[in-house]
Homo-oligomer: A and B are copies of this chain.
Amino acid sequence: MNLREVSVIGIGTTPYGLLESQSLKSMAIAACGEAIRDAGIEKRQIQAFYLGNYISGVLMGQETLAPLIAVSLGLNREISSTKVEGACSSASIAFRQGYLLIASGLYDIVLVAGVEKMSTAAKEKITASLSTSIDMETEGQTGLTFPGFWAMIARRHMYEFGTTMEQIGMVAVKNHKNGAKNPRARFRNIITLEDVMTSRLICDPLRLYDCCPTSDGASAAVLCASEKAREFTERPIEIAGSAQATGFPSLSDMGQEVMLPATVIAANQAFEMAGLSRNDIDVVELHDCFSVAEIVDSEDLGFFKKGKGGRAVEQGMTQVDGKLPINPSGGLMCKGHPVGASGLGQIYEVVRQLREEHENQVKGAEIGLTHNAGGTGAVCTVHILRRRSDG
């Protein structure tokens, strides 16, 4: 079928961090309200609501968040409000549902959001709770959690390709440098490679600064059929590619421990759909839940050959002024990772880049890419956004 073109016409977000006085509901309402105002639409024009959330049931004792937020926000009760969950990809799945239902012609305007509240949960609960996306009948039973998952991938990547801990640590240094300028980021401090290499060992070989921080936050976007977008905004950002692929829920099934196969599939689908090549991408926000993940993802997305991602970081290619700026927002690592919200947080950052209003603006950015990896890469999403040529 011929898909209609779909644009992002409004974005909203809370800062990411320790938002102690805020609840799941208040954060989601703030982000959605900002997106609605940014789009210049009326609430009654929204025809469906999709919400991404990963772990509020386990961490906060609150499920069924979509109608809860829809009602508090004052959306029309005649529309559906639906929660989607795919671990850390939850918000980008919500984004994609909105995209699909507009592209297919069913709706004209859909509100999508993601939210997570982590800071008030007991600290010892969080890492274990996040590991519930690993297959608990098999690998989850071994006690594997995500620091361990990514530590094994780091070791294997170093063994196979000679990637160094210095290269891996440079991801953290770069992302902190970027995050320092981003008012939405949890960490605003510049760090050195020595800081990374001497920080506390979390899961050998990964150290404290190799790990993203759990955070609170919510992000939202208003999507609209491109043919109607100009009614609302002078600067719609088009969704040129949208893909979601299925990966393995355990490391032992993956075959090779240096890549997430679903990222490769989703990237190929998104580029094919957009009719674009890797060279066309001006800015990337990808899933750097651990520093090594940024290197793995940048290879899986096709920007660098497998095994060459570490060197690319070392050469400065992924800096804001490099050939392929990655995570100018500071990434999950520095901006923070409220898991069920992060996918739309990335969309928020890239839309601001393509509007040329970002605090770490990539000069002349016209086309951006976002990438989410849920859990062990069991759900990977890739979206390609483009400033409309008449924009």
Q: Could you list which residues of chain A lie within 8 angstroms of chain B, going by C-beta atoms?
A: 1, 3, 23, 25, 49, 54-55, 57-58, 60-64, 66-68, 70-71, 75-87, 93, 96-97, 100-101, 103-106, 132-133, 135-137, 140, 244-249, 253, 261-262, 265, 269, 374-375, 378-379
Number of copies: 2
A58-B63, A85-B85 known; 5 new pairs, CB 8 Å cut-off, are: A3-B106, A66-B85, A70-B246, A78-B246, A84-B84
The 8 Å CB contact of A71, one of B82, B101, B249, B265, is B249
Report chain B residues within 8 Å CB of A374.
64, 67
List the B residue with the shortest CB-CB distance to A67: B378
Do residues A57 and B60 form an inter-chain contact, with CB atoms below 8 A?
no
Do residues A86 and B67 form an inter-chain contact, with CB atoms below 8 A?
yes
Known A100-B106, A261-B77, A265-B77: A87·B64 in contact at CB below 8 Å: yes
Report chain B residues within 8 Å CB of A64.
54, 85-87, 132-133, 249, 374-375, 378-379
Do residues A1 and B85 form an inter-chain contact, with CB atoms below 8 A?
no
CB distance from A248 to the nearest CB of B (A): 6
Do residues A63 and B54 form an inter-chain contact, with CB atoms below 8 A?
yes
Do residues B78 and A265 form an inter-chain contact, with CB atoms below 8 A?
yes
Known A105-B104, A253-B71: A63·B248 in contact at CB below 8 Å: no
Do residues A68 and B135 form an inter-chain contact, with CB atoms below 8 A?
yes
Do residues A63 and B81 form an inter-chain contact, with CB atoms below 8 A?
no
List the B residue with the shortest CB-CB distance to A64: B133
Report chain B residues within 8 Å CB of A137.
23, 25
CB distance from A140 to the nearest CB of B (A): 8
CB distance from A70 to the nearest CB of B (A): 5
Do residues A106 and B1 form an inter-chain contact, with CB atoms below 8 A?
yes
Report chain B residues within 8 Å CB of A378.
64, 67-68, 71
Do residues B265 and A105 form an inter-chain contact, with CB atoms below 8 A?
no
Q: Within the assembled complex, what's the spacing in Å between the Cα atoms of A55 and B84?
A: 13
Do residues A63 and B78 form an inter-chain contact, with CB atoms below 8 A?
no
Sampled A-B contacts (28; CB under 8 Å): A1-B105, A25-B137, A49-B246, A57-B57, A57-B132, A61-B132, A62-B135, A62-B136, A63-B133, A64-B86, A64-B87, A64-B133, A64-B374, A64-B375, A67-B86, A67-B248, A77-B246, A78-B246, A80-B96, A80-B246, A82-B86, A82-B379, A83-B84, A84-B85, A101-B101, A101-B104, A103-B106, A104-B106
List the B residue with the shortest CB-CB distance to A60: B136
Do residues A84 and B82 form an inter-chain contact, with CB atoms below 8 A?
yes
Do residues B80 and A244 form an inter-chain contact, with CB atoms below 8 A?
yes
Q: Within the assembled complex, what's the spacing in Å between the Cα atoms of A48 and B47?
A: 23
Do residues A85 and B63 form an inter-chain contact, with CB atoms below 8 A?
yes
Known A25-B137, A61-B136, A379-B81: A67·B247 in contact at CB below 8 Å: yes
Report chain B residues within 8 Å CB of A105.
1, 104-105
CB distance from A126 to the nearest CB of B (A): 13
